[in-house]
Amino acid sequence: MKDVQNSYDDRKIPIQKAGIKDLQYPVVVLDRQNKSQSTIASVSMYVDLPHNFKGTHMSRFVEVLNVHRGRISVEEIEDILLTMQDRFECETAHFDIRFPYFMEKEAPVSREKSLMNYSCALLASLKKDDGRQVFDRVLEVGVPVTMLCPCSKEISEAGAHNQRSVITVRVRTNDLVWFEELIEIAEGEASAPVFSLIKRVDEKYLTEAAYNNPLFAEDVVRAVATRLRADQRVCWYQVESENEESIHNHNAYAMVEEKKTNDE
């Protein structure tokens, strides 16, 4: 059969990323407490495409994924990227997975236990550069929290408006960092954490905790950044806080990013 994708393209425009996006696929990811957990990931796989080729072969991405079906770890992802480079004869390969990650949490007063889900991701690439392979991997967590506005508290005779917020943390590391660690850092620097199951005693506790710990989006990203800057395993980080306002018709947002130097 005619291979249309491999046919010649005369426009002389190389493509940096071509492939498949958002394929739902079962994966197993590392879990600090239980060693591993099964989840469903949204998988995206891309390669660079030279200017002279019309397209890439979509089926080959899924074939590569099937060969590596099973445990997803840092080492496995690098192997997948190597296989992609070999299969597509490309210089650069990208492999991204986004998935719900579950942690068991205990309510602060009632001690009721429940599963809380977080949006997590592994974003990886492998690039040939002057005869060597450059591997890059970013860990990402999206953490829902409660925030309480310091300005609202300061100017109001009673109460203060709060916000449902998401703190997004992305890191590059030189050693193992658990998703749980990043989640705990984000929750620890918010006005209050969020739980799937709470009783009235917990609701009272969390409401008062948030009221006594008012924070702007700017406060949170600086606080999380301070924690990450002190962690020798983290060599780059990006922290975002997006607060869904309850009395404004917009969201509040802040972001901080830093590539740490060797002497930090």
Domain ranges of the chain: 15-259
Please state, in angstroms and rounded to a whole number, the distance separating the CA atoms of residues 37 and 28. 6
Please state, in angstroms and rounded to a whole number, the distance separating the CA atoms of residues 165 and 81. 34
Residue 28 has a pLDDT of 85
Per-residue pLDDT tens digits for 209-246: 999 999 999 999 999 999 999 999 999 999 999 999 88
Residue 247 has a pLDDT of 87
Q: Looking at residue 79, what DSSP letter applies? A: H
Range 118-142 average pLDDT: 95
Phi, psi dihedrals of residue 75, rounded to the nearest 5°: -65, -40
Per-residue pLDDT tens digits for 143-170: 999 999 999 999 999 889 899 999 999 9
More confident residue, 10 or 202: 202
| CA-to-CA separations, 170 to 3, 5, 29, 177, in angstroms, rounded | 40, 35, 17, 11
Say if residues 167 and 145 touch (Cβ distance below 8 Å): yes
Q: Looking at residue 247, what DSSP letter applies? A: S
Residue 256 has a pLDDT of 98
Residue 75 has a pLDDT of 63
Can you give the pTM of this predicted structure?
0.90
Per-residue pLDDT tens digits for 62-113: 999 888 876 566 568 889 999 999 999 899 999 999 999 999 999 999 999 9
The CA R_g of the chain, rounded to the nearest whole Å, is: 22
**SS3 state of residue 62:** helix
Q: Which residues of 172-181 are buried (b: 16+ CB within 10 A; e: fewer)?
A: bbeeebebeb
Residue 217 has a pLDDT of 96
Per-residue pLDDT tens digits for 42-63: 999 999 986 565 567 788 999 9
Q: Which helix (H) or strand (E) holds 19?
A: strand 15-31
Residue 34 has a pLDDT of 86
Q: Is residue 264 scored above 60 in pLDDT?
A: no
Per-residue pLDDT tens digits for 168-218: 999 999 999 999 999 999 999 999 999 999 999 999 999 999 999 999 999
**SS3 state of residue 55:** coil
Taking alpha carbons only, the member of 233, 29, 47 closest to residue 128 is: 47
Range 33-45 average pLDDT: 90
| CA-to-CA separations, 129 to 126, 144, 261, in angstroms, rounded | 10, 39, 22
Phi, psi dihedrals of residue 35, rounded to the nearest 5°: 75, -40
Residue 55 has a pLDDT of 60
Average predicted confidence (pLDDT) for the chain: 90
Residue 74 has a pLDDT of 59
Candidate CATH numbers 3.10.270.10, 3.30.70.3400, 3.20.20.70, 3.40.50.720; the one for domain 15-259: 3.10.270.10
